[in-house]
Amino acid sequence: MRKLLPLLLVLLAVIIKAQQYPLVVYNFSPVAVTKLKIKATDPTTWTQDCHPIVSGETAGPMLPGTTVTYDLLNTSATKTPPINQWDAMSHYIGIPDAIYNVNAGATMPSALTSIINWQSIIIEFANGETIDLGRGCVQPGTPTFNSGPTPSGRTASTNTLATPAQQVVTIF
């Protein structure tokens, strides 16, 4: 029993970490978002470079007045708009760099799916305008940066909420 308890505690910690900080995106703007480019990192492993890095982009538009929640990387292809594949730069943590096509059934290793720090979100609109929401990589919780508003008046912001634990992106 003594040997089993530490194993159960580690397993519980992995499960809890894998479920934290879903990314919730609200499009309150009157226009469609043609693409979301999303990057997740783990700044606690390689703090200078934010490795590992997992990046993906939506395979379709996000319509005005809609919301999407990306709660797990392996299930992102089931969302609207879907993220069908993730490009992982993970050789620094001993996992070969790879592209994981989760739409085709590829499963990402738990060392990558437990990444909970949404580091960069680039929002592209049909008129070619973009907003870049990003965060510094040295410290988790570094203030967010917003490149908006766009010339046509689109704005976006991102906030991390403690209860319920999630990162929220709001587009106006």
**pLDDT tens column, 119-170:** 889 999 999 999 988 765 655 555 556 667 899 999 998 887 877 788 899 9
Q: How far is CA 22 from the centre of its chain?
A: 8
Task: Band the pLDDT of 15: cuts 50, 70, 90.
Answer: very low
Tell me the C-alpha distance between 140 and 41, whole Å.
10
Q: Residue 153 belongs to what domain range?
A: 4-171
Nearest to 155 by CA among 29, 35, 61: 29
Give per-residue pLDDT as tens, 74-128: 999 999 999 999 999 998 889 999 999 999 999 999 888 887 678 889 999 999 9
Nearest to 131 by CA among 119, 145, 153, 146: 146
Return the H-helix or E-strand segment holding 7: helix 4-19
Count the domains in the chain. Answer: 1
